[in-house]
Amino acid sequence: MSNALPDHGGLSYLFLTLAAAHLGLGVWGWQRWSQAGRPVALLLVLVAATLLSYDNLRLGVGRFLGPGETLQALSVPAFVWHWSMLPLLVIAAGSVARAAGLDWARPKAVMGLFCLAAVGLAAHDIPKIFDLDLRVACLADTVRYTTTVPADQLCGPGEEPWSSSAGAPVVAIVTNLVVLGVGIALWVAHRWPWLALGAAAMFLAAGAFAGSAWALPVANVGELVFTLGLIVTAVRFGRPARRRG
């Protein structure tokens, strides 16, 4: 596969399509959350995934807005939400494992470890919010603000490759591995493959094209599959919130 993407307008519309798909999936998820007794795991998944539609939308509309303060301001919430809310998926994975009756997940101490891991991951990423530095990047027909601009995504002559202090996506990788591990356990114990398959798709999508121009669109398609796997699993095994009184 060529490292270059065709510059004919298709990539922007792919992101807009993904934005619509995430929006529809989110609406369906919130409906299921209400109908299923408001399970805690599903709530955490939906909160963590809330801005995925928005993130794809800002990638899709960048070509129409062009570089500038408006697009840059629209980009900030996507990074803030990602760095602060993604660890909720670790707690959601633990909640699903416990609600599914997996023997190793039944002790409260295990759920405590999931929560502690999520806090540690959040503590790793949240400080990035206060040092957020975004630069403009161009990929095929898209224009976006991001934390890393490789040489093949420069927008004009005289610009140079650039990378912020945000570093590698450690939290995203660890979160993905935790969800994958729980997914495999559910597959073995309950013959439910969808969480494992969704997490595996995300892992492969994020890593298979690393360093390639294809990395961003493929990873965002992987996010949709990942989110779908999380939602259907949380619907299937999620535990309703305890009612007071």
Tens-place pLDDT, residues 134-173: 999 999 999 999 999 998 899 988 889 988 877 789 999 9
Residues in Cβ contact with 105 at an 8 Å cutoff, skipping those fewer than 6 apart: 94, 97, 98, 111
3 pLDDT more than 70: no
Token digits of residue 217: 């669109």
Tens-place pLDDT, residues 83-108: 999 999 999 999 999 999 999 999 99
Handedness of CA 168, 171, 173, 174 (dihedral sign): positive
What is the pLDDT at residue 30?
96
pLDDT band per the 50, 70, 90 thresholds, residue 112:
very high
Rounded Cα gap, residues 245 and 242, in angstroms: 10
2 pLDDT more than 50: no
245 pLDDT more than 50: no
Percent of the chain at pLDDT exceeding 70:
93
20 pLDDT more than 50: yes
Token digits of residue 175: 């979160």
- Mean pLDDT calculated for residue range 53-64: 97
135 DSSP β-pair partners: 146
What is the pLDDT at residue 239?
65
The stretches of the chain forming alpha helices (DSSP H) are 10-35, 40-48, 52-65, 69-85, 88-99, 108-125, 170-190, 194-208, 215-237
Question: Domain residue spans in the chain?
Answer: 10-237
Tens-place pLDDT, residues 173-231: 999 999 999 999 999 999 999 999 999 999 999 887 777 778 899 999 999 999 999 99
Alpha carbon 23 to chain centroid, angstroms: 14
What fold characterizes domain 10-237? Rhopdopsin 7-helix transmembrane proteins (1.20.1070)
Strands 162-163 vs 148-149: parallel, antiparallel or unpaired: antiparallel
Give, in degrees to the nearest 5, the angle at Cα 206 between 53 and 176: 80
